[in-house]
């Protein structure tokens, strides 16, 4: 699903993230460059750039993001490891929503 935070491994080459995973990217909605476009059954993963991303919990523009459960990101605490993106917009919603991020 677009906006899903993904990690290497699991049943397939990439899977939706869980808490503590090292995220590698986000499933893209509109890829600028379609690397491996002839790959059967593949999906486009944003490795760099602006992309919608599923986030759980409140987030502020400029906050760093880390992988969380169910293919979502969550705002990182200061000095967190495994930061993979930065929020480009704010949301006070505490549930799952989609915000634009910079990977």
Please report the pLDDT score of residue 83 as a whole number. 96
What are the two backbone dihedrals, phi and then psi, of residue 45, each rounded to the nearest 5 degrees? -110, 125
**Does the pLDDT value for residue 5 go beyond 90?**
yes
Output the six-digit token pair for 3.
């906006």
Count the Cβ atoms, other than its own, within 10 Å of residue 19. Answer: 11
Rounded average pLDDT over 51-66: 97
pLDDT of residue 16: 96
Q: Which of 20-24, 66-70, 78-82 has the lowest mean pLDDT?
A: 78-82
Q: Which pTM does this prediction carry?
A: 0.91
Residue 41: pLDDT over 90: no
């Amino acid at each position: 699903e677009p906006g899903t935070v993904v990690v290497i491994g699991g049943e397939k080459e990439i899977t939706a993230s869980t808490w503590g995973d090292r995220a590698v990217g986000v499933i893209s909605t509109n890829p600028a460059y379609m690397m491996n476009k002839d790959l059967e059954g593949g999906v486009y993963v944003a490795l760099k750039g602006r992309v919608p991303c599923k986030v759980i919990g409140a987030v502020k523009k400029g906050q760093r993001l880390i992988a969380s459960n169910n293919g979502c990101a969550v705002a990182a605490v200061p000095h967190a490891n495994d930061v993979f993106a930065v929020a480009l917009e704010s949301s006070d919603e505490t549930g799952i929503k989609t915000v634009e991020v910079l990977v």
